[in-house]
Amino acid sequence: MRAVPRSVAPLAGAVVLATALTACGDGGSPIRAAEAPAELVLAIGGESDDGYDPTLGWGRYGSPLFQSTLLARDENLDVVPDLATDWSVSENGLVWTVDIRTDARFTDGAPVTADDVAYTFTTASRSGGLTDVTALREAVAVDDDTVELRLERPQSTFVNRLISLGIVPEHAHGPDYARNPVGSGPFELVQWDRGQQLIVERNEDYYGQRPEFERIVFQFTGEDASIAAASAGQVDVAAVPAQLAPTRVPGMRLVEVESVDNRGITFPYVPDTGETTDDGAPIGNDVTSDLAVRQAINLAVDRQALVDGVLEGYGSPATGPVDGLPWYEPGSAIEDADLDGAEELLEEAGWTDSDGDGVREKDGVRAAFSLLYPAADSLRQGLALSVADMVAPLGIEIQAKGESWDVIDQRLHADAVLFGWGSLDPTEMYNLYSSTQAGVEYWNPGFYGNPEVDAHLEAAMTATEPAVAEEEWRAAQYDGKGTGFGPSGDAAWAWLVNLDHTYVVDECLDLGAPRIEPHGHGWPVTAGITGWRWTC
C-alpha cells in the first residue's frame, strides 16, 4: 500500500508539505496506519480567482463548502432540503416561500435567519456576479425563519438558485468577505495562499452530516505536478485528465465520474452581410450558415472514435448539451456517423467539387472555414484536429486554429469555436439557444434564432409545473416534426463528447455514491465531501 500523507507544516507556512508514514512490512513495501487520518490532501484545482463569496458566483459548480444552500441535489439529481425545511411555489410561479431550520449558526456564532437569506438573494441579484438572480424582484423575511423570494416573472429554473447560492451573513458580509468567508457550511476557511493552497477545517457546529476529516488541504498544482504528488504519496485525491488517466499510481485507484462536461462546436448561424457587434466584432459566415453544411458535419463526425482516441475511452459521445438529464430529448440525437448520408445532403444542397481540388463550392463560396480553440487546451486541440480529419472526405475544409481568448472573443460570431459547457441547470440550454441571448457574452455566439424554438424555450422557463417545463425543454431540442435546435433540426452546434471526470483516489478513501458532475473537472467532486469515509 501507498504511504499515507499527513501535513505537519504549521498553518503559517506558505505551502503545507505532505509527509508520509512509511512503516514497511517484510517485503519493504509501505503499509498504512490503521486509524483514519485527521487530514486529507487534495489536488483537484478549484481555486477561485475572485475568492469565496457566493453573491459573486462562488459555489455554482460543486459545493460552496463554507456556506449552506437552501436546497441541494442528491446523487439521483433529486432536489432535497439543506438549510431549508420546507419550500413552496405560488400557483402563478412568482413567489417562492422557504422555511429555514432554526439550529443553523454561522462560524462566528451568530444564528442563520431569514434576514440573512433575504440579504444574500438581494445582494446576488444586484452584484452582477456569475450566479444569475436577475429574475428576483425582492426578497423579504416574513419572520425569523421564513423568507419570500418574489420574482419579476415566473422562472422554472429558479430552483437552481436555491441549490447553488450559498447563504452569507448580513452582519459579516464586507469588502474582505471573499478572502475570509463566514458561513454555516460543513467547513471553515482558515488559510488561503493564492496559487498554492487552501486550508479548511471542519465546522464543529455544522447542523448536517458531520465530515469525518478534521482538515482538508487543497493544493493548487498543474496536471503533471498532481500526478507526481500522487505517485509520491503526497495527496489523497488528484484530478487527472483523460490522457493521464491510464497512468497507474501505486496505492491509489482510478475513479471515473460521469459528467455533462461537454465539448462542442458552435457554428455561425447567419450569413456574412458585413454586420458587426457594437464592439466591431464581425458576425456571420457564408459556409456554416448553410443548414446542409451543419447537418453534414453532424452526420460525418464519429463521436465514439473521438471518445476512444482523444479521451482514451473516458467519456461518451455527446448528442446535445444536456445528455442524460431529465430534460434531454433522445430523438434529437444523431447516434452514428454516416458519411454517405452527409455527402447526399451536400449534393442536394448544391455543394459540389466542380474544380476537383477536394473542396466543395456553392455559388462561388468554398466549403472552408476556421475552427478556433484555446491554444493552451490540448484536449480541444485534439478534438478540433480530429473533426477536421473526419469531415475532409466530404469536401469540407476545416482549418483548426489554436488562439488566445482575446482573439476568440473577436472572432466567435464569424468563426466556428470549440467550446466547453455543461450544467445541471437547464438555464444554460436557454442561454445557448435563445435568440434573446444572441451575442451576449459567450451565450449563443452563432446568433442562432428560430421562433418555434424560442417559443418552447420561453414556455419551459415560465412553466409553473416541472413536468411541463421538461416537456418544453425537450421540444426545443426536437419536436418530432423536424424542428429543434439539435442535430436532427437546425444543427446549430455539433456536440462532440461528454467527459468522464477522472480522479486517482487513495484506496482507503471512499467517496460515496457518485453523482453526475457539471462542467469543471475537479471541484464538483466536493459536492459529496461530507460523506467521504476512510475504510482502512
Is 357 found in the same domain as 251?
A: no
Q: Which residue has the cell 478534521?
A: 214
User: Considering the chain, what percentage of its residues have pLDDT values greater than 70?
Assistant: 93
Range of 507's domain?
4-258+500-534
Is 516 found in the same domain as 472?
A: no
Is 523 found in the same domain as 414?
A: no
So what's the pLDDT on residue 11?
A: 29
> 191 and 199 in contact (C-beta within 8 Å)?
yes
Is 405 found in the same domain as 326?
A: yes
Is 521 found in the same domain as 489?
A: no
Question: Per the structure, how many domains does the chain have?
Answer: 2
Is 411 found in the same domain as 320?
A: yes
Is 162 found in the same domain as 86?
A: yes
Could you count the other beta carbons within 10 Å of the beta carbon of residue 50?
A: 11
Rg (CA), the chain: 25
> In terms of DSSP bridges, do strands 416-421 and 262-266 run parallel, antiparallel, or are they unpaired?
antiparallel
**Looking at residue 423, which CATH number applies to its domain?**
3.10.105.10
Is 492 found in the same domain as 505?
A: no
Is 513 found in the same domain as 382?
A: no
Residues 331-363 have pLDDT tens digits of: 999 879 999 999 999 999 999 999 999 999 999
> In terms of DSSP bridges, do strands 361-362 and 365-366 run parallel, antiparallel, or are they unpaired?
antiparallel
User: DSSP letter at 263?
Assistant: E
Hey, what amino acid is at 295?
Q
Is 394 found in the same domain as 366?
A: yes
Inter-helix orientation angle 291-300/378-391, to 10°: 110
Is 211 found in the same domain as 196?
A: yes
Hey, what amino acid is at 306?
L
Q: Residue 503: is its pLDDT beyond 50?
A: yes
Residues 380-417 have pLDDT tens digits of: 999 999 999 999 999 999 999 999 999 999 999 999 99
User: Considering the chain, what percentage of its residues have pLDDT values greater than 90?
Assistant: 84
Q: What is d(CA 139, CA 245) in angstroms, rounded to the nearest whole number? A: 46
So what's the pLDDT on residue 129?
A: 66
Is 161 found in the same domain as 14?
A: yes
Q: What's the mean pLDDT in 17-43?
A: 55
Residues 444-500 have pLDDT tens digits of: 999 999 999 999 999 999 999 999 999 999 999 999 999 999 999 999 999 999 999
Hey, what amino acid is at 419?
F
So what's the pLDDT on residue 402?
A: 98
Three-state secondary-structure class, residue 501: strand
